[in-house]
Structure 1
């Protein structure tokens, strides 16, 4: 009798409510309703997110709009979202049918008071929902029609917090503001870099666009592929000018493989932050007075030491069996006569074995794996390791390297593309071939 009076844990109560609501939702087919009625129904809902998701369908458009426009939002934001969605429901738009754009439309609603044109005057001119979103953003916030394409593309690609606040940047530029005066930039821009930043390719995230502009300003766009293939495409710090001088060092050297830039940058980073060969870190390390042959030789020596250090560990508590939380990306197996596997490496010993076999420095990514910033995958053909892949937390494949840091061949690239497509992973254009300037 006492168990009947015992209060239920909150999670159990939510699960019970979700089951009750789900059974009721089976009798309520809101998907057949007109859009205006769906929006009214959406803003009549109230309750915990799991209960609402059970009622609407976890991955349905309406459930996504509830999560981003209503759940735990302030009244002012909910009212702006209601105004936006009710207006869109009266137009011939595909936006309200697509769960992928729910978060972007919630941001549009948040910035609606800063619009330069009235929402009622917008009409979609395409059946493609992502082009409709681009059109809507330009109509509301781009007064002069000159907001860079890569900024607008970030709305449709879900990169609204890509190193800076894309929505705020859109409003700033849409009012005629200069890029270099935007307060959210990670560092100052020269007029020349600003000019080229406006011309960066449409599909680039902010950091790629910035690297494009910096290299264009230095007349070094031929180095864009190697730069985007290195750590310079993943990190932006206070010593950014130093790393650009590393690119200058490579560009001035005759007959050097451009894709040695990535391994050299890894060696320099290790030398400046951790130390090499038992030496203390050298934060002021530079390439001044050094030769390219000397730098490549020391980089190669460091790589060999990493692959030969299976009996040594960076810290006392770390063993070869030490593991970490894997990234939620499935492994892959396939192929006909040729067995193909892409497997996530989950232990420190796995990283060392991979680096020893392919003669590169993947073992240096131990800390990134443990912190969840990156995951390392190994592509094997007929049980032979051929390519190492780095996938970042934003589900982008940022590195693909074979023996001695070679590029993937056509067969390996095809399997990487298939695996990426199966798991909705992004492959930058430069990764499997030279990047077009």
Structure 2
């Protein structure tokens, strides 16, 4: 046993020595070899292996961008990116974070559309997010564009949004934008330009659609902040007919809209031929209520991996409040039965990695006192899109405070209608 302990100690010493060597190398790199960040940019451009310093996400990101421009065809882009990074590191805040470096990389990809010389640009503001807007307007826009469109510059995959930005910045019409994923009328295009800055580009499309169909402001916002504001763009004819049905159905409690969307969404998922023809809003609500009341999961218990978002814990005198993720269909069903809502129907979306369900619970002495809220997170957007108390009622102010603290610690966005 003693020999084994000695061996383990020796392994630990070797491991510690290796870690200290990496740290020493990084220190030498940062303090002695390169005195300016400009030197790091140049070395990455020349292909130096600085992987031991990738804990600095700026260095990792710049290296990734140069690698993406590694072919001979993109050699000119690679050099421009190097020069732009060096310039803006000295005169702006746009090399201060990974996301802003992605913006600069995207701008260089579209350098053929630059309207002015980037090397003559001087920032007015000091905040990097504001500088992104300044530089984009300087390079791409003759005309003012909606603020939400600048979000497209942070994209790592969807370059279509940047093309929309340039098109509108040139004075083009919304209806002439390429590849709009939903049927858009001229009226919808008008509202797209008026969409609030708080929306994402996808949400602005949905908001403009509802407004263009003559939907009132409250309905447009509720639909935008529901699953429909973030859904993939399929069956759009069906979902436009749903919006029209809701609009024409008369007055109803908007708090029940999410329940209705959940019901119709699930009906369409299990039956691709499901249609709204011949249905009224009142009949849909009746069917939705029955579905919510009688929904139960299959006998088999489905289990999925945690989403990676940490829970939350707050101790208050003799009570402990815990926010925990539910990762089994059985637990979702139990939650739904206790809370008298349909969270059990979300097993499919959780297993697919689209949603995560958390339960906000209060304990005392290890005994469950209360389930304060059931919470849905849209994983693609890192956004809390729903939070319901018992019987789908709004959550308490106390529960909201815990949710806000959790969202802040995990970098999540809270929907306004919770």
When normalised by structure 2's length, the TM-score is 0.85
Quote the offset at 1:85 in angstroms: 1.2
Q: Are 2:260 and 1:249 equivalent residues in the alignment?
A: no
Counterpart selection for 2:324 from 338, 343, 349? 343
Q: Deviations over 1:342-367 (max 9, x none)?
A: 11111111111111111222122212
SS at match of 1:97: coil
Q: 1:201 to 1:69 in 2, by over 3 A?
A: farther
Report how many aligned residue pairs link the two structures: 390
Q: 1:288 to 1:392 in 2, by over 3 A?
A: same
The match for 2:124 is 125
Quote the offset at 1:253 in angstroms: 4.1
Q: Distance in 2 between matches of 1:84 and 1:352?
A: 54
Correspondences of 1:224-243 after superposition (within 5 Å) = 224-243=220-239
Greater helix fraction, Structure 1 or Structure 2: 2
Gaps of 5+ in 1: 1-15, 275-280, 314-318, 433-437
Q: Distance in 2 between matches of 1:216 and 1:230?
A: 15
Counterpart selection for 2:378 from 383, 387, 392? 392
Conserved 8 A contact 2:182-2:236: no
The match for 2:180 is 185
Q: Deviations over 1:117-143 (max 9, x none)?
A: 11022101111111111111111111x
Q: Distance in 2 between matches of 1:38 and 1:289?
A: 64
The match for 1:140 is 139
**CA RMSD in angstroms, aligned pairs only:** 2.6
Q: Are 2:102 and 1:112 equivalent residues in the alignment?
A: no
When normalised by structure 1's length, the TM-score is 0.81
Conserved 8 A contact 1:303-1:361: yes
The match for 2:7 is none
Q: 1:254 to 1:167 in 2, by over 3 A?
A: closer
The match for 2:305 is 325
Q: Distance in 1 between matches of 2:57 and 2:261?
A: 44
Q: Deviations over 1:77-119 (max 9, x none)?
A: 42231132133244x2111222331222211111122211110
Q: Distance in 1 between matches of 2:198 and 2:268?
A: 33
Gaps of 5+ in 2: 1-16
Conserved 8 A contact 2:207-2:223: no
Conserved 8 A contact 1:247-1:261: no
Q: Distance in 2 between matches of 1:78 and 1:361?
A: 52
The match for 1:435 is none
Correspondences of 1:202-213 after superposition (within 5 Å) = 202-213=197-208
Counterpart selection for 2:351 from 353, 362, 370? 370
Q: Are 2:63 and 1:66 equivalent residues in the alignment?
A: yes
The match for 1:165 is 160
The match for 1:27 is 28
SS at match of 1:387: strand
SS at match of 1:96: coil
Conserved 8 A contact 1:339-1:381: yes
Q: Distance in 1 between matches of 2:170 and 2:19?
A: 46
Conserved 8 A contact 1:36-1:86: yes
